[in-house]
Chain A
C-alpha cells in the first residue's frame, strides 16, 4: 500500500520541481556557478582519492599504478607509529583549545559591542577589530616572531616591568606553541567572526527587550535572557560548522610557526603529510592520511549534529 502511494506521488514531485524551475529560473541560473564550482573542484578530484589505495608513481599515472589495498594506512598507523599518536593528539588538542577559547571569543565580543550605544565609537572599534583578518598568514607569523623573539617587544616589556629576569624564547619552547597559536588566532578572527553574531542580534525583535525591561531586567539580564537565546541557533550552526573542521589545522600557519624544537607540540597531521607526501614524493601516503582525516571530520559533523538536534532542536539537517 505504502509503496504504491509513493509511486503515485513521485510524478507530481517532478512536476512540482519543473514548475519551480520555471518560476525561479533566474535563481537556479545563479546557482549554476556554485554547483559547478563544487562539482569541478571538489567532486571531480575525488577520482584521485583512489591513489590512497594504490602505490602511485607519476610515471604510471593513476590508472597504471598497482593497487596495494590498505598498505598505506598500515604504513601510517603501524610503521610510523612513532609519530601517529603525537600528530593526532596535537591536531586534536590545538583544535580543542581553539574551540574552547577561540569559539566563544567573537560571541562575547559581539555581545559587548552590542552594549555600546555610541555608534561612531562602536563602528571604529568594529573596523579596527576586522583589520587583522585581512593580513596574510605569512605577515601574521612574521609579526608573532618579531614580537615574541628573545629580544622582541614582549620580552622587553616583561623585562622592564620586572616580571622576567631572563628572556623567554617563546618560539622554541614546545609549551608556548599552543597558546601562541590559539591566541594569535583569536586576535586575528575576533572582529571578523563577530559579524555574523551582530547580524543575528540585530534580527532580535525589539519588543522582547521592551518586555524584559518592563519586567525589570537590567542590561545584563537582557543580554542573558533575550540576546543569547536569540542568537543561539546561529551559535549552534556556527559550532557545527566549526566541528566539521576539527581535524584540520591551518597548515600554513603551523608550518610557518614551528621548528624542530617545537615539533613535540606543533607537528600536526597536515604538516606531517606535507613532509612525507610532498617532500618525500609519497603521494599515496599523503592521500591515505588525508582521506583518514576527512572521514574523521565527516563522522564528527554527523555526531555533533545529532547531539545538537537532541539538545537544542537546531541542526544542519
Chain B
C-alpha cells in the first residue's frame, strides 16, 4: 500500500498548508480592508460601460476625471458595469434580487417599468428634495437658475429622484445628433440634387439602385439603410421620425395642440406605410435591416454598397468621414418643397438618464456630495475636459481640447480619446459643455452642416418626459406590452408588404385597448402642463 501511504503524506501536507494559510490570509485581508474602510469610504456605482471607454479601460474608475474626483472628495468609487448588451437584464436582476449599489445611473423614465415614481414606491431609489439644499448646493443652484430644466427632471409631485444628465445650453446643437446621411459623390455622379421632399427621396433612391453609382458594374447598390437599432426598424422610425415626420405624425405617441395621439391611428399613417412599402418593393431599402446585423450594414456602407442611411453624428458620420467617404447630411424629408419639417430626431436638454441614490446607500450625504460635484465649476471642467495640460488647455479664458484628443496619436477617434480623460463623450450626470459639441462632435464641416440641417425641425409635437401614477403605470405596462409585441411584428410585415391591411392592424390595436393607453398619456400630459 505504498500508494496509499504516499497519498496520505500528500494529504497531510495539504492540510497543513491549508491550515497555515487559513491563519494568515484573514489577517491580511481583514487588516487591509479595515484600513481602507477607516481612511476612505466606498460607494458602489452601477452604470453601463460605454464602448468608447471600453476601447481603453474596463472600468470608469480608470477615467482621469473620476480619479480626480476620488482624490478630491476622499472617496472610493467601485463601478459595477453590466455586460454590454445585457444591461437591462442585469439591471432588472439587480432590482429583483435587491442587491442594489449605492448609486444607479439609469434611464428611469423609459427603462424602469412604471418610471421614477414607481421606482421610489418600490423603495429602489430615494427622494432627494430634503437633501438637496444642504448636500447638493451646486445642483440646487443650477435648478433654481434653470426652471425650465427643473420642470423636465421632477415628477408631477415635484419630487427630485436623481442627478440629471444634461446636454448643455444650446438645444439647437446639443440635442441634435441623429439623422439622414447620403453619399454626396453618388449624387454628383448621377447629376442629382440633395433630396428634400419624400418624392425627391424616392427618385434619388431609385437612381441609386438602378444606375450603378459605385461604378463596379454590378447591381449591388442599396438605397437606404438604418444604422442604429437596425434590429428593429420601427424603433429607428419611432426615434428619429425620419419619413413619417413628413406627414406631421410620429410612429408612436405625440401631441397636437395639447391632444395626445398615437401614430397608427392617424389617417396619415397609411400614406407613410404605403411609401415605405413602395420603397421596399422596389428594392430601395437594404434587406439587411431585417436580420438585426448592424455590423454587416456598417461594412456595406464602408464598401460603397449603401447610398443613404439614418445614423449618428459622430459615431457613424464621423467614422465614415474619417475614412474619407464623401457624405453629407440632408434635412428631414417634407411633403412639399420649401416646407419646414415638423418632426425629426428630438431630444430635450435633459437626456432622460439620472444618477439616483438607492435605498441601500448607507451614506446618503456622501453620495450626494459625489454626484453634486459634477455641477460645480471644477466638476464641470473635469467631466467635460479632463485634465488641464493633458486633454485640454486654456487660452484667453477659452477652453480648447489638445491634439492628443483631436488628433490622437494612437488612432483613437476624438470621442474615444476624450473618454480616457473625461465623461463628455459619454452622457453623464453633469451639464455638458457646448465646446464639446463644437470641437469634438463637429470636427468636420459636414458635421456642422448636419447639425444645422437636422436642427431645422419644429418638434413641438414631441411629448416631454411624463410621469405616471402607480395605477396608470401598471395599466399602461399591461396594454403596451401586448401592443408593442404586435406592433413590432406588424410594422415589419407592413413594411415588407406581407401584410397590407392597415385598417385591420388598427382594429386589433383598438381591441388591445390602445385608446385607454392614449387616455393615460393624455392625463399625464395634462399634469405635465400644470407643473411649475
Contact = CB atoms under 8 A, between A and B. Distances in A.
Given A278-B89, A283-B96, A150 B287 contact: yes
Interface residues of A, number: 28
A283 B477 CA distance: 13
A281 B92 contact: yes
Contacts of A45: none
Contact of A275 (B124, B485, B486): B485
A130 interface: no
B481 to A, nearest CB: 5
B113 A261 contact: no
Contact of A172 (B121, B290, B485): B290
B96 A260 contact: no
Interface string A38-64: 000000000000000000011100000
Nearest to A264: B489
B232 A281 contact: no
Given A59-B122, A82-B512, A281 B288 contact: no
A279 B234 CA distance: 19
B479 to A, nearest CB: 9
Contacts of A171: 290-291
A71 to B, nearest CB: 12
Interface string B479-523: 001100110110111001000000000001001100000000000
Contacts of B288: 150
Contacts of B492: 172, 260-261
B222 to A, nearest CB: 11
A59 B292 CA distance: 37
A149 B291 contact: yes
Interface in B54-106: 88-89, 92-93, 95-96, 98
Contacts of B234: 260
A75 interface: yes
Contacts of B478: 75, 79
Contacts of B336: none
A280 B96 contact: no
Given A59-B121, A279-B92, A283-B96, A150 B481 contact: no
B98 A259 contact: no
Nearest to A79: B478
A145 interface: yes
Interface of A: 57-59, 75, 79-80, 82-83, 145, 149-150, 169, 171-172, 259-261, 263-264, 267, 275-276, 278-283
Given A59-B122, A259-B232, 11 more contacts: A58-B95, A58-B123, A82-B511, A83-B485, A150-B288, A259-B290, A261-B492, A261-B493, A261-B496, A275-B485, A280-B113
Shortest 9 CB-CB distances between A and B: which pairs? A260-B488, A59-B123, A59-B122, A172-B290, A281-B113, A260-B489, A263-B489, A261-B492, A280-B113
